[in-house]
């Protein structure tokens, strides 16, 4: 049984407690991502199928003689197509979120490994190496700017002010779900 906060045994340490809490954070992030991925995969498959059906409707409407019904069908087709594209862009935001969470999860696991290893814990080069590895994984300018700000002593609140009020937007003209 692990030490209790009110009765620590001789094996108790802040480092071991920190590692346990980091591992807890990693496991919770991984579980949340898995749960979200299952739902989003189902939704993405449904949207792909619906987009195929909407395309068929649009092509069939193009073959109709010009009349009020055709215009009604085409108008609704255009609205549904626009909304479906907006939904796909929302999936891109979700994908970006999961990529960021995966990077955070891996970074926390790497931090836990460093903290758990007494041979690395007090070695500044190990810490610099960890920071360089974490920084190298960032693909967005805002993430790199926030990293630099925190490394240079900014508070969380100050670093968050560097981020725009809206997330970096995927290019709507290049709608693509990422792997």
Q: What is the C-alpha to C-alpha distance for residues 3 and 12, in angstroms, rounded to an integer?
A: 6
Specify the pLDDT at position 7. Answer: 66
Q: What's the half-sphere exposure (Cβ side, CA atoms, 13 Å) at 129?
A: 10
What residues contact 158, with CB distance under 8 A and at least 6 apart?
A: 149
Instruction: Categorize the per-residue pLDDT at 179 as very low, low, confident or very high, splitting at 50, 70 and 90.
Output: very low
Specify the pLDDT at position 119. Answer: 92
Specify the pLDDT at position 172. Answer: 47
Span 8-49, pLDDT tens digits: 665 677 888 888 888 888 988 988 888 888 888 888 888 889
Specify the pLDDT at position 10. Answer: 59
Predicted confidence (pLDDT) at residue 1 exceeds the cutoff of 70: no
Span 101-124, pLDDT tens digits: 999 999 999 999 999 999 999 999
Terminal Cα distance for the chain, rounded: 41
* Chain-centroid distance, C-alpha 20: 23
Which of 109, 117, 88, 107 has its CA nearest to residue 178?
88
What residues contact 37, with CB distance under 8 A and at least 6 apart?
A: 98
Q: pTM of the full predicted structure? A: 0.68
Span 63-88, pLDDT tens digits: 999 999 999 999 999 999 899 888 88
Span 120-157, pLDDT tens digits: 999 999 999 999 999 999 888 888 999 999 999 999 89
Predicted confidence (pLDDT) at residue 165 exceeds the cutoff of 80: no
Predicted confidence (pLDDT) at residue 176 exceeds the cutoff of 60: no
């Amino acid at each position: 049984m692990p030490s209790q906060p009110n009765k620590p045994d001789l094996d108790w340490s802040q480092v071991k407690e920190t590692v346990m809490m980091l591992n807890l954070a990693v496991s919770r992030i991984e579980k949340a991502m898995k749960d979200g991925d299952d739902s989003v995969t189902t939704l993405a498959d449904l949207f792909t199928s619906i987009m195929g059906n909407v395309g068929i409707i649009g092509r069939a409407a193009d073959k109709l003689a010009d009349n009020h019904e055709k215009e009604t069908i085409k108008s609704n087709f255009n609205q549904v197509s626009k909304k479906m594209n907006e939904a796909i862009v929302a999936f891109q935001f979700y994908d970006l979120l999961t990529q960021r969470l995966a990077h955070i999860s891996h970074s926390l696991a790497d931090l836990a490994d460093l903290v758990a290893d007494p041979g690395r814990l007090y070695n500044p080069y190990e810490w610099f190496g960890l920071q360089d590895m974490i920084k190298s994984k960032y693909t967005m300018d805002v993430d790199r700017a926030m990293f630099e700000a925190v490394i240079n002593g900014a508070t969380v609140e100050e670093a968050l002010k560097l981020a725009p009020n809206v997330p970096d937007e995927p290019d709507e003209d290049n709608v693509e779900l990422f792997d």
